[in-house]
Structures are given as C-alpha cells and as structure tokens.
Amino acid sequence: MRRHRNVKIVATLGPASSEKHMIRALFEAGADVFRLNMSHGSHDDHRARYDAIREIEVETGRPIAILADLQGPKLRVGAFAAGPVDLAEGAPFRFDLDPAPGDATRVQLPHPEIFAALIEGSNLLVNDGKIRLRVEKCGPDFAECVVTVSGTISDRKGVNVPDVVLPLAALSKKDRADLEFACELGVDWLALSFVQRAEDVEEAKVLARGRAAVLSKIEKPAAVRAFDDILKVSDGIMVARGDLGVELPVHSVPPIQKRLVRLCRSAAKPVIVATQMLESMIESPMPTRAEVSDVANAIYEGADAVMLSAESAAGSFPIEAVKTMDAVARSVEADPNYRSIIEAARKASLSSVPDAIVTAAREIAETTDVAAICAFTQSGTTVNLVARERPRVPILALSPEESVLRRMCLTWGTHCVITPRLSRFKEAVVNATRAARKFGFADESRKIVVMAGVPFNVAGTTNILRIAPCDDRLIFATDPE
C-alpha cells in the first residue's frame, strides 16, 4: 500500500476507533502512525489497540508506527463547597494549600511547587485560559490574586502557569508506570508532555533505555525558550499548539510553529504539528475552510506529520477526517509553489560524509531520470538525513531492523521496506531494485539511487552511493556476487 504523498498522518485511537476493523479502515484511509493517548483508557485498552495494529501490520505487509503519548503532570484546583463560582474582573481571589472546600474568595491549589515558583506579577490561567488571575502577593503556601479575565470556576479545573519554570518533573508517578508499560508493550515512539528543559527529555530517555524513541511535546513557553537544547536531546518534536495557545498570546503561535518546524528539519529530526487541526470534524463530516488552510500551512512549512486527536479518537467521522487530511496533503504537494517553498527553506549541511552523500543523492535525483532514493539504514539516521533534503522523488527506507522501520513511518516521504541482513553492497543494490519494482516506484526503464554504508550493519557508516538500473538483470539475480 503505497502512499501518494510525503507528509505523514498521525491518528489518535479512542472510543470511536478501538475496534480492529475501524483501525484497519483508518490505516487504509491514510493513517501512518497511531497514537495511544495515555491520559485516557486503561492499560488493557491500549494493549488491545496495540495488538490490533500489529495484526494489521502483518496482514498488510507494511510497518506501522505506534506512539504512546504520556499524560504529564496535571495541575488542578480543588473542590468548591457550593458548586461553581463566578469570578468578576478586579475581584480578589486566593489559592492556598488548605484542603477545605472553596468559595467565592478562595480555593485549594494542592501543588506547593507552584507556590515555590510564583513571583509577584505572575499570571495564573484556569480552565484553558478562560479565567486569568495576576499574583499580587505570594508565599510558600498561598497566592493572593486579582482576577484580570472573569469567568466561572468549578471543581478540578486545570491551572496553567506560563510565566515561570515550575520545579516539577515532566514525568509523574503515573507517567513512569505508563512509560514502562508502553516500552514493554513495544511502542515505537514516546511523546513526553510538560517538557520545560532538556533534562526532562534526558530523564525519559534513561527510563526508555532505547526501547522507544522519545518525542518532546512543545506546549509550554519554557520549552520554546529552551528549544535548541531540547531539540539536541530529542529524537523528534511535537508542536502542541493547543496548550501553547493557552500559555502564550494566540497570535504568537503561528510564527513559533514555523520556526520550530524549520529547526527540526535542519536537525534532521521528525516534527509533528498537532492539536485542533480538523476540530469541527468531531461533529461534522466536513471541515471548515480555515481548518483546511491550517493543515495545508503545516504541510507547506515542511512538517513531517500532521495529527488528529479527538477527531479520530472520539469523533463521529474518524475515517472522513483521515481522508480529508490525505486529500489536503495530496493537493498541497501537487502545487508547484509547494516545491519552491520547501526548497527555499533548505539549508546546506556538509559537515560529514553522510551529509555529503545524501546531498549528492538529492542533486542526482533532481538532475537525472531517477525514480527513487533507496537508503539502507541501521539506526534510521541516514533516512532522516535524506528526508531533511526533501527530495522530489520518493524515499525507500530499507533495513533488517523492523523497529527502525516502524520509527521511520513518522519521517517525511519514506516508504519502509524490511530486508534480509546484508553483507555486501551488491546485495543492497539487488534488494533495492527489487523493492522499487515490487512497490511500484520504478519500472525496467528507470534508475534508482542506492545509498548504504560499509561495513554493513553498523550505524553511522553511510559512505557509498550508486545509480542502478531497474532492469531484469538485477531483479532476477540469484547470486548477489
């Protein structure tokens, strides 16, 4: 099943998409990666979805990536004695550690870490930013505030603290249990919530022990400020615009998104643009024009993947949402302006032999009649370098490591093919030629670029490039010597 687009689609599974037949339908509609949201559902629920995906993988012969999205710490107020309370603009309001039910003047905020970080003038946002309060006075167990944006506050509403770095680990006790469960299950990617600093990512990678790649969710202002350091230690990035738009002025999110996507591409690390992309399709079979433009803009920017959340997890039209994203992606990538925009954002990077090899492969593909770039990879690094170039021809990622190919399903432009473990470059050429013909990327009249490293089966050794014909001499070769 070949995708006729380069950008990948991430679909979240949930109550509307838990059955195997629905997951299969989402895959056939265009989903490349399935997201398990650890904020909802039990471990048994996620295990059943995981098993269904792996069965579909066997049935279709295509690697499928599975991403487990960790919940992260949830900061919430306590309960109110008499139900919801209206907070008027200019009114005083107090947060403290007292567990007594709240009223119109105060409520418990059971997070001493917040009080430890607050300073006068800090802002507290409640209920996704619908209510805003400014700190006038604070101590280790309280914060006296004034309401700057009025609204109704009620039990267990979430709290955001955008102005300070909170002394909280990105991994709660629940997250640690979920991380171990997901790694033992065999997921390919872990999405880390509440990232504020590079150390948060490093802690998750230590716990993962290489069993899954770690993707950092950029959803807090502190993460935007520390992005360069976070990117260095992350395997991938998710631009989580929903929370960013709560903690930052909403008009600042689009330029941040554009900057982060470009930095990820320059670093040859996959980036997902996420949240509220086709929000109206939770209840409607048709998206709004603004939503279609939002998805299109992420693709024009060069994102590796775009993501569906509630649209596919709990909406009434999950398959239609995936098909819509697929159609938008095909339309954008067929636009001549797409190529000019993507290529204008390309930056030369010739700091290593693999950099030079992938740059040469892309230039050859653009100036000769080459049907595809076939990259053999042991760790996925070479394929990510090829994808960074955003070539005009498809990328075949070939590897004997199934786990590597599954992770590559998130990378722009890749079609992943499992191969035998090879020992000679001639074997690589034969296998690449067969794969290009088998999956419809080339016929006997075309040529392909083959990239590999010698010695084989060693990560980071990409050092050979060859232009190979796809004629029958190689297709039917029985002796790779």
Please compute the mean of the pLDDT values over residues 378-400 and round it to a whole number.
95
Mean pLDDT comparison of 316-320, 345-349, 378-382, 459-463, highest-scoring range: 316-320
Please list, in sequence order, all residues whose beta carbon lies within 8 angstroms of the beta carbon of residue 459, skipping any fewer than 6 positions away: 378, 379, 381
pLDDT in tens, 41-82: 999 999 999 999 999 999 999 999 999 999 999 999 999 999
| Annotated catalytic residue 76 | yes
For the chain, what are the domain ranges?
A: 8-73+169-337, 85-160, 353-475
pLDDT in tens, 256-292: 999 999 999 999 999 999 999 999 999 999 999 999 9
Q: Which position among 5, 49, 106, 217 bears the catalytic label?
A: 217
Please compute the mean of the pLDDT values over residues 329-355 and round it to a whole number.
90
For residue 349, with 0-12 CB atoms within 10 Å meaning exposed, 13-18 middle and 19 or more buried, which class applies?
Answer: middle
Residue 128 backbone class (left: φ over 0; alpha: ψ -120 to 50; beta: rest): left
Q: Does pLDDT of 358 surpass 80?
A: yes
pLDDT of residue 481: 41
- Give CA–CA dist 249/251, Å, rounded: 5
| Residue bearing tokens 């950092």 | 216
pLDDT band at 456 (very low <50, low <70, confident <90, very high): confident
The per-residue pLDDT of the chain, averaged, comes to 94
Between 3.30.365.10, 3.40.1380.20, 3.40.50.300, 1.20.1050.10, what CATH number should domain 353-475 receive?
Answer: 3.40.1380.20
What order of strands is seen across the sheet that includes strand 462-469? 414-418, 395-399, 370-376, 447-453, 462-469
Question: May I ask the CATH architecture of the domain 85-160?
Answer: Beta Barrel (2.40)
pLDDT of residue 118: 96
pLDDT of residue 348: 72
pLDDT band at 479 (very low <50, low <70, confident <90, very high): very low
- Give CA–CA dist 341/467, Å, rounded: 28
Please compute the mean of the pLDDT values over residues 420-441 and round it to a whole number.
92
Please compute the mean of the pLDDT values over residues 310-336 and round it to a whole number.
97
What Å distances lie between residue 282 and 315, 318, 443, CA to CA?
4, 8, 42
pLDDT in tens, 290-316: 999 999 999 999 999 999 999 999 999
151's enclosing H/E stretch is strand 151-153
Q: Which position among 3, 5, 35, 447 bears the catalytic label?
A: 35
| Annotated catalytic residue 258 | no
Q: Which position among 20, 74, 76, 174 bears the catalytic label?
A: 76
What Å distances lie between residue 165 and 18, 221, 249, 414, 428, CA to CA?
37, 9, 17, 37, 50
pLDDT of residue 80: 97
Q: Does pLDDT of 474 surpass 70?
A: no
Residue 79 amino acid letter: A
User: b/e map of 320-338 (b: 16 or more CB within 10 Å)?
Assistant: bbbbbbbebbbebbeeeeb
pLDDT band at 473 (very low <50, low <70, confident <90, very high): low
Instruction: Sort strands 131-139 and 123-126 into parallel, antiparallel or unpaired.
Output: antiparallel
pLDDT in tens, 66-123: 999 999 999 999 999 999 999 999 999 999 999 999 999 999 999 999 999 999 999 9
Which tokens in the block code for residue 436? Answer: 């290009």
| Annotated catalytic residue 5 | no
Please compute the mean of the pLDDT values over residues 311-330 and round it to a whole number.
98
pLDDT of residue 350: 66
DSSP 245: H
Between 3.90.1300.10, 3.30.1360.200, 3.40.50.300, 3.20.20.60, what CATH number should domain 8-73+169-337 receive?
Answer: 3.20.20.60
Please compute the mean of the pLDDT values over residues 426-454 and round it to a whole number.
92
Asked if 93 contacts 86 with a C-beta cutoff of 8 angstroms, the reply is no
pLDDT of residue 471: 80
- Give CA–CA dist 153/95, Å, rounded: 12
pLDDT band at 353 (very low <50, low <70, confident <90, very high): confident
Q: How far apart are the first and last CA of the chain?
A: 31
Q: Which position among 12, 275, 359, 433 bears the catalytic label?
A: 275
Q: What angle do CA 303, 130, 78 make, to 5 degrees?
A: 110
Task: Give the residue with greater pLDDT, 424 vs 278.
Answer: 278
Q: Percent of the chain at pLDDT above 70?
A: 97
Please compute the mean of the pLDDT values over residues 387-393 and round it to a whole number.
96
Asked if 459 contacts 401 with a C-beta cutoff of 8 angstroms, the reply is no
- Give CA–CA dist 377/309, Å, rounded: 31
| Annotated catalytic residue 473 | no
